[in-house]
Structure formats: structure tokens, C-alpha cells
Amino acid sequence: MKPVIAIYPGSFDPLTNGHLDLIERGSKIFDQLIVAILRHPEKAALFTVDERRQMLESMTARFKNVSVDTFDGLLVDYARSKGAGAVLRGIRAISDYEYELQMALMNRKLDRRLETVFMMPAEKYSYLSSRLVKEIFRHGGSVRGLVPKQVEERLRGKVRRVSPPQLSPSAREERLLRGKVVRVSRLRPASAAPRRKARL
Ligand code: PNS
């Protein structure tokens, strides 16, 4: 039987653990998997194509049937040039489905031999996206466990983090108390708080 070559296309800006999870799953069902980074002329990316390629190459080196490449133009043309018969895409939630279905059907219209295979990443990555990773990181949040360590380090060198707004001491106290039911009497020194009689 002819080996099945699949393309896993995307922006990978940056690579997340959700992408890696999908690459691992794909590597188990396809004979060869090509992770293809789109050279987006119109989309401003945080990482250059070379940087994204380096990160992907080093993080996928352990999968012997996985390679990394870049492409531009139509995906169907690129897939044909590689002798690929399948496109791998990840679906995290129903909200992804509409866009992915449209793309899969359009690709099939352009080349009826090209099949799109959808796979689900592990549930723990079902809310993860490159866009959110960049946003969280920029605002000083933790991205541990969401991206490989190497990507986290590169983000550190790349993104200027916006420091959280400085709160005045009274605003800080108020924030600490918010969410807790604190009686005003409890905030007074014990001696000053009026004593209530115990109800029998
Ligand atoms: O990770 P992304 O950004 O959602 O990936 C989108 C990608 C790269 C798969 C899609 O934009 C694509 O295939 N672009 C290549 C141009 C193309 O073929 N467009 C028609 C798709 S129906």
C-alpha cells in the first residue's frame, strides 16, 4: 500500500503544547507528517518564520516520521507538490468546526483527492491557542504547561510584558477583601468591636 503523507498546516505563532499533542497523534496514524508553516504575507507574526521553524524542528526531532517545512500560496498546491493525500487539522471545540469545515470542503473542491482529517487534542489543551498564549504572556500571566519551555524562554526575549497596574494601598486592601464576606466589626480591633449576646 502507498505510504500516506499528511500535511499539518498552520501559523504556529508560537508553537503550543496543543500543536505538539496533535503532531504526536498524527505521527501515529500517518506514515509521514509534514508540519507546514504558512508564510503569511498579510498577517503580522510575533516570531519570524525561521524562529518558528527552529522551535518546531527541535520540539519534533523525537518523531522520526515528522518533518518541518514552510509554504505559501494555496495549501492544495503545496500538498500536491509533496505527494500528500491528507491534511491534518485540530478541532478543539464546536466553535472551530464551522471554519474548519469550510476550509476542508473548499480544499476538497480545489483538489478532490485531498482529504482533511480532524483530530482532537487532549482535553487539557481544548481551550489553548497561540493568540491567548501571547496575550497572557504580554500581560504578565503564566504560560507554564501551555507551551514548551523553549517557547516560553523565547517569549521572554521577544515580548515586552505590560506590568500590572499599580494599586494604591487602600485599593489593594479593598481588592484583598473583595470576594470575602467580611463584617466591618471584624476589621475593628477586638477591644473596639461590640460584643453580641449569644442566642440561646
Ligand atoms: O493555524 P491557522 O492560522 O489557523 O492556519 C490556517 C491555514 C494556514 C491552514 C490556512 O490559512 C491555509 O491553508 N492557508 C493557505 C492558503 C489557502 O490554501 N487558502 C485556502 C484555504 S481553503
Q: What is the pLDDT of residues 41-72, one digit of tens each?
A: 777 899 999 999 999 999 999 999 999 999 99
Determine the distance separating the centroid of ligand 1 and the alpha carbon of 90, expressed in angstroms.
Answer: 13
Decide if 19 is catalytic: yes
Rounded to 5 degrees, what angle do the CA atoms 98, 94, 151 make? 95
> Which residue's CA lies nearest to atom 21 of ligand 1?
103
Residue pointed to by grid coordinates 476538497: 108
User: Which residue has the least CA distance to atom 8 on ligand 1?
Assistant: 10
Ligand 1 centroid vs 119 CA: distance in angstroms?
17
Q: Is 43 a catalytic residue?
A: yes
What distance in Å separates the CA atoms of residue 43 and residue 40, rounded to the nearest whole number? 5
Strand partners, 67: 34
Q: Residue 10 C-alpha to ligand 1 middle, in angstroms?
A: 6
Q: What is the per-residue pLDDT across 129-162, written as a single tens digit (0 to 9) for each? A: 999 999 999 999 999 999 999 999 999 998 887 7
pLDDT for 197 beyond 50: no
Interior/surface letters 23-44, b for 16+ CB within 10 angstroms, e for the rest: bbbbbeebebbbbbbbeeeeee
* Residue nearest atom 5 of ligand 1, based on CA coordinates: 10
Is residue 11 in contact with ligand 1, taking CB distance under 6 Å?
Answer: yes
